[in-house]
């Protein structure tokens, strides 16, 4: 089937100018840790230089460079890296342009606005409880501003809701996406409930894409919830978040189409 309308600039994501502001995942706490380590290492280097201990000063210098690299990787993953990954994942979905997409735990809308840009004749709904400790400056208003800045406000709907209790009828969405949100639910039972909710609101034949630290463990729950084509794959270096070799996984799944009744 032909796409129903052109993809907007926000939908093209990585190839379009970045107009929204999406904050830092994990709030400022992660960056503060990098900063404190840097201060400690700088102090050690200065102390070692005064005491003429060149080996210690060199070690502290190398440590400082490693931590600075790690902080840069974290900032890259939380910003351009995440957005580039999702542009690719949304490309892979090959949307027509009239689908209804749900983003569970949309935060400031980094993924939501990109999905919205691909469904100019559809709808992109973001649900969240907008916790600031999970993303800096997190709020429904910030998501709204980003949707406006990226010219997709008309397609976007924002809903205050917990992932464990989605306020939608069964089979409401063609696609459900979620980025780094479900693992913020502390208990395994709550995470499983959120996953079952995601499946419940998918229409038969609908597709699910979840990028999350815990995605590898979600596969079994999704199979139990009746999904087919459940697969887990590690994403590339863009998801290192400051730890080289740490690849955040993606889980993909499909809600099977209802069996056609025989004549």
Give the residue, chosen from 73, 138, 146, 155, that forms a contact with ligand SAM under the rule CB under 6 A.
138
CB-based contacts of 54: which residues, under 8 Å, 6+ apart? 48
Give the residue, chosen from 90, 106, 125, 248, that forms a contact with ligand SAM under the rule CB under 6 A.
106
Which residues, in sequence order, are bridge partners of residue 253? 208
Quickly tell me which residue has 């910003």 as its tokens.
79
Please report how close the Cβ of residue 51 comes to ligand SAM at its closest, in angstroms: 43
- 150 belongs to the binding site for ligand SAM (CB under 6 A): no
Q: Which is nearer to ligand SAM, 119 or 248 (CB)?
A: 248
- 134 belongs to the binding site for ligand SAM (CB under 6 A): yes
Question: Which of the stretches 39-47, 68-76, 128-136, 254-262 binds ligand SAM when contact is defined by CB under 6 A?
Answer: 128-136
| Contact (CB, 8 A) for 113 and 147 | yes
Question: Which of the stretches 9-17, 57-65, 94-102, 105-113 binds ligand SAM when contact is defined by CB under 6 A?
Answer: 105-113
Q: What would the x/- binding string for ligand SAM be over residues 31 to 70, using CB under 6 A?
A: ----------------------------------------
Residues of this chain, 152-211, that bind ligand SAM according to CB under 6 A: 162-164, 179-181, 184-185
Q: Does an H or E element contain 168, and which?
A: none
CB-based contacts of 179: which residues, under 8 Å, 6+ apart? 82, 86, 103, 105, 110, 111, 210, 211, 212
- 81 belongs to the binding site for ligand SAM (CB under 6 A): no
Give the residue, chosen from 12, 21, 131, 145, that forms a contact with ligand SAM under the rule CB under 6 A.
131
Tell me, by CB under 6 A, how many residues bind ligand SAM: 23
Please report how close the Cβ of residue 180 comes to ligand SAM at its closest, in angstroms: 4
Q: Which is nearer to ligand SAM, 73 or 179 (CB)?
A: 179
Rounded (5°) CA angle 82-160-155:
65
Please report how close the Cβ of residue 24 comes to ligand SAM at its closest, in angstroms: 9
Q: Which is nearer to ligand SAM, 48 or 195 (CB)?
A: 195
CB-based contacts of 152: which residues, under 8 Å, 6+ apart? 8, 10, 11, 113, 116, 117, 124
Binding site for ligand SAM (CB under 6 A): 22, 25, 82, 105-107, 110-111, 128-131, 134-135, 138, 162-164, 179-181, 184-185
């Amino acid at each position: 089937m032909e796409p129903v309308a052109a993809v907007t600039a926000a939908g093209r994501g990585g190839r379009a100018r970045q107009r929204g502001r999406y904050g830092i995942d994990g709030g400022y706490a992660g960056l503060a840790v990098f900063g404190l380590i840097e201060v400690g290492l700088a102090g050690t280097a200065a102390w070692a230089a005064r005491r003429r201990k060149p080996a210690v000063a060199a070690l502290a210098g190398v440590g400082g460079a490693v931590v600075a690299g790690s902080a840069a990787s974290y900032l890259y993953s939380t910003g351009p890296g995440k957005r580039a990954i999702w542009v690719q994942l949304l490309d892979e979905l090959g949307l027509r342009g009239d689908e209804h997409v749900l983003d569970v735990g949309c935060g400031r809308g980094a993924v939501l606005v990109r999905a919205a840009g691909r469904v100019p004749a559809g709808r992109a709904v973001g649900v969240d409880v907008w916790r600031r400790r999970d993303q800096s400056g997190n709020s429904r208003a910030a998501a709204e501003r980003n949707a406006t800045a990226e010219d997709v406000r008309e397609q976007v709907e924002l809903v205050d809701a917990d992932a464990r209790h989605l306020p939608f009828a069964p089979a409401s969405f063609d696609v459900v996406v979620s980025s780094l949100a479900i693992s913020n639910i502390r208990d395994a039972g709550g995470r499983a409930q959120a996953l079952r909710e995601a499946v419940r609101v998918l229409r038969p034949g609908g597709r699910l894409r979840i990028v999350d630290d815990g995605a590898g463990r979600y596969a079994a729950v999704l199979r139990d919830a009746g999904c087919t084509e459940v697969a887990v794959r590690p994403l590339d270096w863009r998801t290192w978040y400051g730890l080289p070799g740490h690849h955040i996984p993606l889980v993909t799944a499909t809600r099977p189409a209802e069996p056609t009744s025989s004549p």
